[in-house]
Amino acid sequence: MSISRRKFIQNSACISATGAIACSQNPVPAAVDLGEPSTNMRPLFIATWPFGKFSCEAAVKIATDSGSMLDAIEKGIWVTENDVKNASVGIGGIPNADGQVELDACIMSGPDHNAGSVAGIRDILHPISVARLVMESTPHVMLVGDGAKQFAIKNGHPETNLLTDQQKSNWQNWQRKQAKMLQQSQPKIDEDHHDTIAMLGLDSDGNLYGGCSTSGWGYKIPGRVGDSPIIGSGLYVDNQVGAAGATGLGENVMRHCGSFLVVEMMRQGAAPTEACEMAVNRIAEIDPKNLDNLDINFIALNKAGAYGAAGTSKGFKYSVSSPQGSEIIDAKAMSVKAIGPEGGNRK
Ligand code: SD4
CATH numeric code, 3-346:
3.60.20.30
**Measured between alpha carbons, how far is 25 from 67 in angstroms, rounded to an integer?**
28
Catalytic residue, from 196, 247, 273, 312: name it: 196
Q: Is 7 exposed, middle or buried (0-12, 13-18, 19+ CB in 10 A)?
A: middle
Verify whether residue 196 is a known catalytic residue: yes
Give the mean pLDDT per block of 10 residues along the chain (347 residues).
Answer: 38 36 39 52 97 98 97 98 94 95 98 98 98 98 98 98 95 85 53 78 97 95 97 98 97 97 98 97 89 91 97 94 97 78 45
CA of 246 to the centre of ligand 1 (A): 8
Of 81, 118, 199, 214, the one to substitute when testing ligand 1's pocket (max ligand atoms within 8 A of C-beta) is 214
- Cβ-contact 80, 52 below 8 angstroms: yes
CA of 297 to the centre of ligand 1 (A): 10
Adjacency order of strands within the sheet including 102-109: 142-144, 114-122, 102-109, 208-214, 197-202, 44-48, 317-322, 325-330
pLDDT of res. 217: 93
Q: Which residues line ligand 1 (CB under 6 A)?
A: 88, 189, 194-196, 214, 216-217, 226-228, 247-250
Q: Smallest Cα–Cα separation from 311: which of 341, 339, 270, 344? A: 339
* pTM of the predicted structure, to 2 decimals: 0.88
pLDDT of res. 189: 52
